[in-house]
Amino acid sequence: MKSASHQLFFILFTLFTISAAAIDILDRTQNITDGQTLVSPSGIFELGFFGSGLPTKRFLGIWYKVTPNVIVWVANRDRPLNDSSGVLAINDKGVLVLLDRSTNVIFSSNSSNAINPTVQLLDSGNLVLKAQSTTNDPSNNTFIWQSFDYPSNTMLPGMKVGKNLKTGFERSLSSWKSSDDPTRGDYTYSMDTQGSPELYMRNLGRPVYRTGPWNGLRFSGIPEMTTYENMFDFNFTASSEEITYGYGDKQGSSMSRVVLNETGDMQRLVWDQSTQSWNQFWSAPKDQCDFYAKCGPFAACNANDAMVCSCLKGFNPKSQAEWNMRLTAEGCQRRTQLNCSNGDGFYVLKGVKLPDTHNATADQSINLDRCGNKCAGDCSCTAYASADIREGGTGCVTWSGELTDLRYTDGGQDLYIKVAKSELDTSNTHKTHVVVIAAVTTISILLLLSVGFLFWRKRRAMRLVGRTFFLRDPELPAFDLETVMLATGNFSKANKIGEGGFGDVYKGKLQDGHEIAVKRLSENKYSSQGLKQFMNEVILIAKLQHRNLIRLLGYCSRGKERMLIYEYMSNKSLDFFIFDERRRTFLNWKMRLDIILGIARGVLYLHQESRVNIIHRDLKAANILLDGEMVPKISDFGTARLLRGDEPEINTQTVVGTRGYMSPEYAMDGKVSVKSDVYSFGVLLLEIISGERNEGHLLAYVSIRIIKQNAINLSNYTNSDIIFQAWNLWLEGNSHKLLDGAIGGPCPASEILRCIQVGLLCVQECPDDRPEMDSIVLMLASENIILSEPKKPVVCTSVGPLRNGVLNGMNESHSVNHLTITSLEGR
């Protein structure tokens, strides 16, 4: 039986029950009961009671007012109420409490006595208990307790995860038990403060994923963080008092949140005001190499390889038999043991997420050279790296014992690995470089490479037929011809799914069940350009890894056979849908916008985020493939060009591309830059919106010299009716009329107009006027960014049209090669 004081306390709560009107501050004379809410000052967040999948279970939580089903914090997640009798109030000791029908304390702030305490829900989503200062200044308040210190499964801007080193207090996320049950689930996301601090996702205490250590700019395993600086402020603190990480939204950016869901996925979600929905901006684990210790100790994971795991230089699999069966958890072991007294050496593994730092040692006071000396003099040290990549690399992290959870990643760091001296004399088979090589050896290799390159340039492709000459890229596995023939049914007609200038495309299935697409270079395509395209595609795409790029699994080169092996795309290419009267109705507006954004992010990756900066040069609907979930994948890198260093553009004497997609400066003067791809993207965007084909004929490898000698005006190869239609409708204020009439369902007008405006900005005549791809992604993803007015596109004149496949004014001997470059239809 409860005491009389408890009964009286509950009666007082009932007498002072607030009305249902929304308030944002609660004082000691008020309370919140089931059905009533507390609303933040600007109406962004709301606090109240909600039910789980079981109607009898009630919880106190905070949610977005625009999406009440998105709960960001739960007070009593481990002690649900059994009915709707819960009461939230401030008791006579100034403590925020949640009481049940019997006045049992279900949740408490555990705070101490405070003067005139109040509870407020802030616009940040933070529920705070404040005490008024003794100065009687209502604006001078101190937080006694805040919900941000006790996260549930959601991280909001302004929140921190990490550890207070003085008190030992930790903030971490924990998943829900299920999508409709907020009780504590199996997954946690917390800061490991040992060694070099990093964030870990764990399943029942077992590591599942980690971010890699903080390197001054970002987490080592999330290099793409640097491309998000226009939207987010990332805050990492490592001091004598705390080690914490948090983020904030940039002013003018959309709302965002980071969620650890019940299936073990980290997701960064951004609010789309136009569609009133949350869109996924980033997620992890993103591929199989992100899963903790996928390859075991002393091995590295490469998601682009058919065999994703490989032992580090100087190491062999612990069990070759298991390794052959792709059972890699046991990892690798040294071929030759270290001999500290006799001297060991280091080699550098480039472009990796640094290994697990839980048992590593960090020292910010020394540079990389001293770090190397320190590791060399420590017999237990197995590797070292810079702790901070800024200013060329500062600080020091050293590892002792096993190196675990290594993966190759774009924008990764250098890791210096200790091996026996004898191992430094062996050939490099694992994407590594010896740190110190004799100068004479370097010069000799460079001379040999130069001679070999000149020799290759002079050889004609026809003389290579029947030979096994091929540039073997260590990052790309070679497939046996027998394996490919078995997968494709010996290149049977039944498995043929595409045909182009490169050759034929076949669908295949490997013995492990994986479906593949095989591009086979036809014998009659063994021109110098045909082989050049083949090798160009291998070299470039092997270095790329992105959700919106086609994944090259490997190549096959034997005798006359040259083949590229890709992942299979079940929904063929984008033009298969948008230019077909029946299939185009399947693409509603949201799907089209998702495809536009996906292509934009893929091009952004090529231009700025990948290990190498690439200009695609042939962006068009036929080169956008769609997987089973209609995710767009940019394909066909046979004509792509690599930007080296800080060069803003490339001057070429050969024009290659498709009529209607080429920028004016490229078609007329052979000037290629990232803005050339921006132009092509703009045309493609307008195609997707309108559903109208930009009729184009491929213009492949036409010499600038021939163009100028024949006075050919190629401006008609740079524009199309769709651009002028979009421009004229824009001037008339009728841009909405450009929208494909086959689109069903909701079509937000503001969103459509924004996309059309972005498209027109992309096809402006002057390259400097066109936006960069990072700005384009932001403009498409956020309605808070003000767009500039587009300028009139270049005027087209119908000079030098195609006539029977030949440019007017061009001698037959200079006819255009109508090559359909590597169009992977139906893969």
Torsion of CA 726, 727, 732, 737, to 10 degrees: 0
755 membership: H or E segment, kind and range:
helix 749-762
d(CA 488, CA 496): 9
In degrees rounded to 5, what are phi and psi of residue 455? -65, -45
Whole-angstrom CA distances from 179 to 63, 125, 170, 176, 263 are 15, 21, 25, 7, 9
d(CA 58, CA 71): 13
Residue 519 is assigned to a ligand binding site: yes
Q: What SS3 class is residue 665? A: helix
How large is the greatest C-alpha to C-alpha distance in the chain, in angstroms? 106
Q: What SS3 class is residue 412? A: coil
Query: Does 285 sit behind a cis peptide bond, omega within 30 degrees of 0 on the bond before it?
Result: yes
Burial of 152 per CB tally in 10 Å (0-12, 13-18, 19+):
buried
d(CA 656, CA 707): 13
Cα 824 vs. chain centroid, distance in angstroms? Answer: 24
* 250's tokens: 């940039």
What count of other Cβ atoms lies within 10 Å of the Cβ of residue 188?
19
d(CA 247, CA 210): 18
Q: Tokens 């997420």, residue?
A: 353
Q: Which residues are catalytic?
A: 618
Q: Where are the alpha helices (DSSP H) in 542-673?
A: 574-578, 589-604, 664-669
Burial of 476 per CB tally in 10 Å (0-12, 13-18, 19+):
buried
First to last CA, the chain: 72
**Amino acid in the structure at residue 697:** H
Per DSSP, what are the bridge partners of residue 96? 90
Q: Which residue, among 595, 596, 590, 616, has the nearest Cα to 605 in the 3D structure?
A: 616
d(CA 254, CA 262): 25
Give me the sign of the Cα torsion angle 595, 599, 602, 604. negative
Per DSSP, what are the bridge partners of residue 204? none
**Amino acid in the structure at residue 285:** P
φ/ψ bin of 136: left (φ > 0), alpha (ψ from -120 to 50), beta (otherwise):
left
8 membership: H or E segment, kind and range:
helix 4-15
Per DSSP, what are the bridge partners of residue 530? none
DSSP helix, strand, coil percent of the chain (3-state; round to 5): 25, 30, 45
Query: Does 648 sit behind a cis peptide bond, omega within 30 degrees of 0 on the bond before it?
Result: no
Give me the sign of the Cα torsion angle 759, 763, 766, 767. positive
In degrees rounded to 5, what are phi and psi of residue 229? -65, -20
Q: What SS3 class is residue 700? A: strand
Burial of 441 per CB tally in 10 Å (0-12, 13-18, 19+):
exposed
Q: What SS3 class is residue 737? A: helix
Cα 696 vs. chain centroid, distance in angstroms? Answer: 32
* 56's tokens: 């009898």
Q: Which residue, among 790, 791, 792, 810, has the nearest Cα to 800 in the 3D structure?
A: 810
Annotated binding site for ATP: 519
Q: Which residues define the annotated binding site?
A: 519
